[in-house]
Amino acid sequence: MVWLRNDLRIYDQQSLILAKQSGLKVVAYYSFDPRHYYITPWDFHKTGSFRAQFLIESVVELQRSLTDLNISLIIDNRPPEEGIPDWVDRLNISQIFLQKEWTQEERLVEHNLRATLDKEIEFYSHYDQFLFHPKDIPFELNDLPEVFTLFRKQCEKRSTVRKVLPEITLMPKDNRLEHTFQAPTLADLGLEKIEQHPNSAFPFKGGGEQAKRRLDHYFWDTNKLSYYKQTRNGLLGIDYSSKLSAWLANGSISPRQIYWEIIDYEKEVKKNQSTYWLIFELIWRDYFKYIALKHQDAIFHLGGILNKDYHWDTADTKVHSWIEGTTREPFVNANMIELNKTGWMSNRGRQNVASYFAKDLLLDWRIGAAYFESQLIDHDVHSNYGNWMYVAGVGNDPRDRKFNVRFQAERYDEGGKFQRLWNQNTLF
């Protein structure tokens, strides 16, 4: 069995390759774990409709791709520690292959699963979501730098990115199960149906083929990659940034795939600061994963990895004003309204609304992080909580900066076009 979590692809997929090499029949498994869709203590879903819809699309496309390889994808609606033992017994599974996860909830699920299964079941887990593999970075985990620049420079100097693994070859027809499995609807998950907003900066579908289509558009069809550094702080339109983060987040595409595509682009089209800058952002993504790996559950603690003791507020009225986009700052409001209506927000917007939440409203930053987790199509637990700690002053920002929201609005939304689009109550 290949137990899939945030590695929903057939290319550069180590679990599938290792399972195929076992010589045994192979089946894949994915659980829409009901605990991922409950109502949080702050009265919003742990996973909201936008991210759930993108995930459903990703799983459905993966199921088709696996079927073409004669591999069945079991789609379950039970917690994995309940669903997997059932299928282990029914299919006489002897080996389980999985991508390593190290955050709290994922560790607990795996621990409980191992405790439930017969001790003779063999688990094969491996790191498969990094740009620089843990064996290839020039640090012991305990010595990982607490400042990104030190990490980046040493990795760029002394580490290499591994080559992309090929798609696995076709399995025999008798490998497939007779039964086919249906993905849930939003209603099945207890979520409201959504319509795509005409002004969405992320009008894309989930799945590995959709990721490849987006990459081809941004790199090869339009050469937008050559201008990424100049446009990455944009707020309007689909092409101010690569938008690859959502497919990266659920593993529909790997960072190695993107990296080697950039290298090909640099050889065939142009190598400049913009092509480097997308690699730079992939390294940032790696860094937050390593910070989570080093500090474990501290990334979810109020004092963060610095264990700083600030006075944080939890006032419902202030939280709801921020969520609903009714604060006194039009730029914050516009970004929050965009998030609520589309499941997307620009990088520039995220930094500003998070800084305002933590540094102006002085609210418990973990509530803001949980809301991002609910709403953002591209939520990645390590990047989300790493960035929120950074902005709140309890993470990896050595300068503990605070954003001047009004200055940021004047600089990045000169003339107020973005704010007018999303905040109809703002006057200019």
pLDDT digits (tens, 9 = 90+) for 69-125: 999 999 999 999 999 999 999 999 999 999 999 999 999 999 999 999 999 999 999
Rounded Cα–Cα distance for residues 210 and 247 (Å): 9
pLDDT of residue 52: 98
One domain for residues 139 and 279: yes
One domain for residues 265 and 242: yes
Give the tens place of pLDDT for each residue, 28-44.
999 999 999 999 999 99
CATH number at residue 140: 1.25.40.80
Structure tokens at 34: 């009901």
pLDDT of 426 over the 50 cut: no
One domain for residues 254 and 115: no
pLDDT of 161 over the 80 cut: yes
One domain for residues 309 and 239: no
Domain containing 320: what range? Answer: 301-422
User: Across residues 291-298, what is the average pLDDT?
Assistant: 98
Using DSSP's 3-state secondary structure scheme, residue 354 falls into helix
pLDDT of 428 over the 50 cut: no
pLDDT of 408 over the 50 cut: yes
One domain for residues 266 and 120: no
CATH number at residue 344: 1.10.579.10
CB 74 within 8 A of CB 102: no
One domain for residues 256 and 123: no
The last residue of a domain, from among 101, 128, 155: 128
| pTM of the model as a whole | 0.96
Q: Give alpha helix (H) positions in 127-235.
A: 148-158, 208-216, 228-231
Using DSSP's 3-state secondary structure scheme, residue 71 falls into coil
One domain for residues 99 and 3: yes
CB 299 within 8 A of CB 386: yes
CATH number at residue 77: 3.40.50.620
One domain for residues 118 and 8: yes
Number of domains the chain is built from = 3
Structure tokens at 253: 């595409």
Asked whether residue 197 is assigned to any structural domain, the reply reads: no
